[in-house]
Structure 1
Amino acid sequence: MNLANILEPEAVRVVAAVSSKKRLMHELGDLAEATYGIEAHAVVEALLERESLGPTGVGHGVALPHARLDGVDKVCGAFILLEKPVDFDAVDRQPVDLVFALFAPREAGVEHLKALALVSRTMRDKSICTKLRSNNDAATIHTILTEAQSVQAA
């Protein structure tokens, strides 16, 4: 499994600002619907439901919201770079500006966990996060994310 199989170039967006965590979830829903055809409302509902179990803000300005949904045939992702960080109830109480969301089939088990581990490893790399934050072009961001893994594996 690699990020190029999970993250379509069209699923990367740079957003100037969102007013809240909930608004960010709506951005992710719109992105998932536009890219993968997953109903935006269902995405927002599933992400918020998952957040109610505990925040997915993992620290250092990174959030990894994720959800299992009906109507999803494979694990897929969406990435948003926020130009203005938003409060996300992160574990370190820092606002979030890098958001990598995962959407998985409801019955996905190991594949969902493997994807989450892969994304988590990638987003823990400080040099990758620095590169992401210094770019505001979606195509460049996609390249940074998808090439990061091949460099790590080498």
Structure 2
Amino acid sequence: MKFSDLLKPEAVKVLGAVSSKKRLMHDIADLAEAAHGLSAAPLVEALMERESLGPTGVGHGVALPHARIAGLEEVLGVFIQIEKPIDFEAVDRQPVDLIFALFAPENAGVEHLKALALVSRTLRNTGLCTKLRANADAGTLYTIITETEDVQAA
């Protein structure tokens, strides 16, 4: 599995500010609707339901919200950078500004886990996160994220 399998260039967005975690979930769902043709309302509901089980803020300003979606046929992602970090109830209590959301089919056991592992492992790289935070252009962010698979493959 590669980032380019999960993420399209149009599924990357930079937001100036977000008022709340719930508003961010709506922004994630709207982006997934625009980029992947998914219906936003069930995505928001699924993301909020998953967050109620425990926050998906993994630390160091990174969050990995994810949900299983009925009718979805493949694992898909969206990436959002927020210029003004927000509280996400992360494990380290640090505000979040890099968000990679994943949507998986209801029955995608191992594929969903592989995608989560890939994203988690990649966004633990502090050098990569520094590069992402230094750029506010969605196209550049997409390139930075998808270039990591070339480096990892080498």
Shorter-chain TM band: over 0.9
Q: Which residue of 2 aligns with 1:24?
A: 24
5 Å-filtered alignment, 1:123-142, equals 123-142=123-142
Segments of 5+ residues of structure 1 without an aligned counterpart are: none
- Cα distance in 2 for partners of 1:51, 1:114 equals 20
Dislocated runs of 4+, deviation >2 Å: none
* 8 Å contact kept, 1:122–1:149: no
5 Å-filtered alignment, 1:49-64, equals 49-64=49-64
Q: Supply the AA of the counterpart residue of 1:11.
A: A
Q: CA deviation at 1:140?
A: 0.5
Q: CA deviation at 1:152?
A: 2.2
Q: CA deviation at 1:71?
A: 2.3
Q: Does 1:117 align with 2:117?
A: yes
> TM-score, normalization: structure 1?
0.98
- Cα distance in 2 for partners of 1:144, 1:78 equals 14
Per-residue displacement from partner, 1:31-88 (whole Å, max 9, x unpaired)?
Answer: 0111111110111000000001100000000000000001211001000000000100
Segments of 5+ residues of structure 2 without an aligned counterpart are: none
1:107 match: secondary structure? coil
> TM-score, normalization: structure 2?
0.98
**Alignment size in residue pairs:** 154
2:19 match: secondary structure? coil
- Cα distance in 1 for partners of 2:72, 2:15 equals 25
Q: Percentage identity across aligned positions?
A: 69
- Cα distance in 1 for partners of 2:72, 2:97 equals 26
RMSD between superposed Cα atoms in Å: 0.6
5 Å-filtered alignment, 1:70-149, equals 70-149=70-149
Q: Which residue of 2 aligns with 1:38?
A: 38
Q: Which residue of 2 aligns with 1:14?
A: 14
* 8 Å contact kept, 1:38–1:71: no
1:15 match: secondary structure? strand
